[in-house]
């Protein structure tokens, strides 16, 4: 970077790090999305079609819902190379999701006089949203719909604006049953309440813009949702061993998502920020998406800390969606960091490889919510249904007595009576 040039990434101190949960939706968007959601709930397909035509997603007379034959037809029109990429990516996602599903087991434990446990039940239907702003995102179709299908959902709906052929093809490979060719808040409302022959879904998942996120917040409780995700984030944690050019290209990959994306760097080497800035400036000049990336870099920052321990503390304070670790002992650092949506360990483990289907899901918590949320997985489509059975009333007598005593403490005479009846 030339002397006197403004830094590409602003410098901040540890005390200036963002902390706490950052709201993904402003009140204005939430209020406007509420009008859309309420209209779709009240008017159904007529409202959804009005919005779809207004936003150029569907032409008059085009169906809102695309069926499986058309998805399969779109797959057939793709070049063999493109079909191969989608199928290989799908298999990696499917393999990881199956391993997750197999790790979740029914439970059966002894209790006084009997047994208790849980069974694992998938929800019946899943709605899977995939954005398609500047470009369609078939990776999001695969990440969401395949995970739902592996979890055991009987019906999988994909929603994405415009029914782009590559999104339809990805939905075919993922095994989707229906494709809702609209986006935004009206797509979320349509999957929550049902429109034009499309029955309501039980769970709605997937990334999207602030309108999608606002609508998910509004329908939560009517349906299950995965999370309320805001702008995408990448935090890179580095020491003096890091390659400045590699750091720069990863920050740019994050920045080109959209102008609201947040690229962040925490480092222990005070000479690294200037070297990363120089690499960013050089690479940015060559990047076709430089206008968007340059805007997003303005949201980001670099923070120089005194030690790896402070770097881990900084990472836990930010609780970023994606955390890359490029240090001499990346595994140790990754194990120390507790708050992250997804962790990418070592310089060869690029976050973009996770975005594009190494296996783990790329739908991850943002805005500090990684403190209490996890990324999309088969768990979002499963319910742990508990059960208990008392076979031996004598052996369960102590449980009956304690239940009756607790009922008396709470002043619930009917509860006490119901428990004591089991001792007769």
Length of the chain counted residue by residue: 424
pLDDT of residue 126: 98
Q: Which of 76, 56, 54, 51 lies closest to 168 in space, CA to CA? A: 76
**Which strand (E) or helix (H) includes residue 316?**
helix 308-318
Distance between CA atoms of 385 and 52, rounded to whole angstroms?
39
For 352-371, b/e burial (b = at least 16 CB within 10 A) is eebbbbbbbbbbbbbbbbbe
Radius of gyration for the chain, computed over Cα atoms and rounded to the nearest angstrom: 25
Q: Which CATH superfamily is domain 27-225 in?
A: Nitrogenase molybdenum iron protein domain (3.40.50.1980)
In this structure, the number of other CB atoms found within 10 A of the CB of residue 278 comes to 17
Main-chain dihedrals φ then ψ at residue 372, nearest 5 degrees: -140, 0
Q: Which of 101, 125, 97, 93 lies closest to 204 in space, CA to CA? A: 125
Query: Out of 57, 178, 233, 321, which one is annotated catalytic?
Result: 321
**Which strand (E) or helix (H) includes residue 12?**
strand 10-12
Query: Out of 164, 186, 322, 362, which one is annotated catalytic?
Result: 322
pLDDT of residue 84: 97
- Choosing among 3.40.50.1980, 3.40.50.620, 3.40.50.2300, 1.25.40.850, the CATH entry for 10-21+230-360 is 3.40.50.1980
pLDDT of residue 2: 47
Distance between CA atoms of 213 and 187, rounded to whole angstroms?
11
How far from each other are the two terminal CA atoms of the chain, in whole angstroms?
A: 85
Distance between CA atoms of 256 and 251, rounded to whole angstroms?
9
Distance between CA atoms of 423 and 396, rounded to whole angstroms?
9
Q: Which of 349, 371, 367 lies closest to 358 in space, CA to CA? A: 349
> Do 71 and 138 touch, CB atoms closer than 8 A?
no
Beta bridge partners of 361: none
Distances in Å between the alpha carbon of 356 and those of 72, 78, 139, 142? 22, 19, 6, 10
Active-site residue, 322 included:
yes
Active-site residue, 164 included:
no
Distance between CA atoms of 172 and 151, rounded to whole angstroms?
17
In this structure, the number of other CB atoms found within 10 A of the CB of residue 414 comes to 8
Distance between CA atoms of 152 and 261, rounded to whole angstroms?
33
E-strand ranges in 151-273 read 155-159, 178-180, 203-205, 224-225, 233-238, 262-267
Distances in Å between the alpha carbon of 286 and those of 262, 279, 290, 338? 20, 11, 8, 36
SS3 of 407, please?
helix
At 336, list the tokens. 């120390």
pLDDT of residue 4: 47
Mean pLDDT, the chain cut into blocks of 10 residues (424 residues total): 65 92 92 98 96 95 95 97 97 98 97 97 98 90 98 98 96 98 98 94 96 97 95 96 97 94 97 96 94 95 97 97 97 97 97 93 96 97 97 93 96 96 79
Residues of the chain with CATH 3.40.50.1980: 10-21+230-360, 27-225
> Do 236 and 324 touch, CB atoms closer than 8 A?
yes
Dmax over Cα atoms in the chain, in whole Å? 89
> Do 237 and 311 touch, CB atoms closer than 8 A?
yes
Residues 6+ apart with CB under 8 A from 330: 345, 346, 347
At 235, list the tokens. 């935090």
Distances in Å between the alpha carbon of 272 and those of 149, 281, 293, 302, 328? 45, 14, 20, 10, 15
Distance between CA atoms of 252 and 280, rounded to whole angstroms?
7
pLDDT of residue 424: 58
pLDDT of residue 423: 78
pLDDT of residue 1: 46
Q: Which of 184, 182, 201 lies closest to 193 in space, CA to CA? A: 201
Residue whose structure tokens are 């790790």: 103
Q: Tell me: the pLDDT tens digits for 306-360?
A: 999 999 999 999 999 999 999 999 999 999 999 999 999 999 999 999 999 899 9
């Amino acid at each position: 970077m030339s002397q006197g040039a403004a830094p590409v990434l602003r410098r901040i101190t540890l005390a200036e790090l963002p902390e706490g949960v950052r709201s993904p939706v402003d009140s204005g968007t939430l209020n406007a999305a509420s009008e859309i959601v309420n209209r779709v709930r009240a008017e159904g397909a007529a409202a959804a079609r009005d919005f779809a035509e207004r936003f150029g997603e569907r032409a008059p007379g085009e169906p809102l819902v695309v069926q499986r034959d058309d998805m399969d037809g779109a797959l057939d029109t793709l070049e063999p190379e493109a079909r191969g990429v989608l199928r290989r990516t799908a298999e990696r996602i499917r393999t990881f999701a199956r391993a997750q599903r197999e790790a979740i087991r029914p439970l059966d434990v002894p209790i006084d006089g009997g047994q208790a446990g849980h069974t694992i039940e998938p929800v019946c239907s899943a709605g899977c949203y995939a954005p398609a702003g500047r470009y369609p995102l078939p990776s999001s179709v695969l990440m969401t719909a395949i995970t739902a299908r592996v979890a055991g959902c009987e019906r999988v709906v994909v929603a994405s604006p415009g029914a782009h052929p590559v999104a339809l093809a990805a939905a075919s490979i993922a095994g989707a049953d229906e494709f809702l060719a609209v986006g935004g808040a009206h797509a979320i409302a349509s999957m929550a309440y049902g429109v034009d022959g499309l029955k309501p879904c039980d769970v709605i998942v997937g990334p999207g813009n602030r309108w999608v996120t606002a609508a998910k917040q509004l329908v939560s409780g009517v349906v299950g949702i995965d999370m309320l995700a805001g702008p995408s984030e990448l935090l890179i944690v580095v020491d003096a061993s890091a390659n400045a050019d590699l750091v720069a290209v990863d920050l740019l990959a994050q920045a080109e998502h959209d102008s609201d994306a947040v690229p962040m760097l925490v480092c222990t080497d005070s000479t690294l920020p200037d070297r990363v800035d120089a690499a960013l400036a050089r690479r940015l000049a060559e990047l076709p998406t430089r206008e968007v990336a340059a805007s997003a870099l303005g949201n980001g920052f670099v923070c120089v800390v005194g030690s790896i321990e402070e770097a881990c503390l900084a990472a836990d304070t930010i609780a970023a969606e994606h955390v890359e670790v490029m240090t001499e002992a990346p595994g140790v650092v990754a194990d120390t960091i507790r708050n992250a949506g997804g962790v990418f360990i070592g310089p060869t483990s690029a976050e973009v490889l996770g975005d594009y289907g190494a296996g783990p899901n790329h739908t991850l918590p943002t805005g500090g919510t990684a403190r209490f949320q996890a990324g999309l997985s088969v768990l979002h489509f499963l319910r742990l249904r508990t059960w208990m059975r008392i076979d031996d009333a004598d052996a369960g007598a102590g449980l009956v007595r304690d239940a009756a005593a607790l009922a008396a403490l709470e002043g619930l005479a009917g509860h006490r009576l119901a428990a004591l009846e089991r001792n007769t």
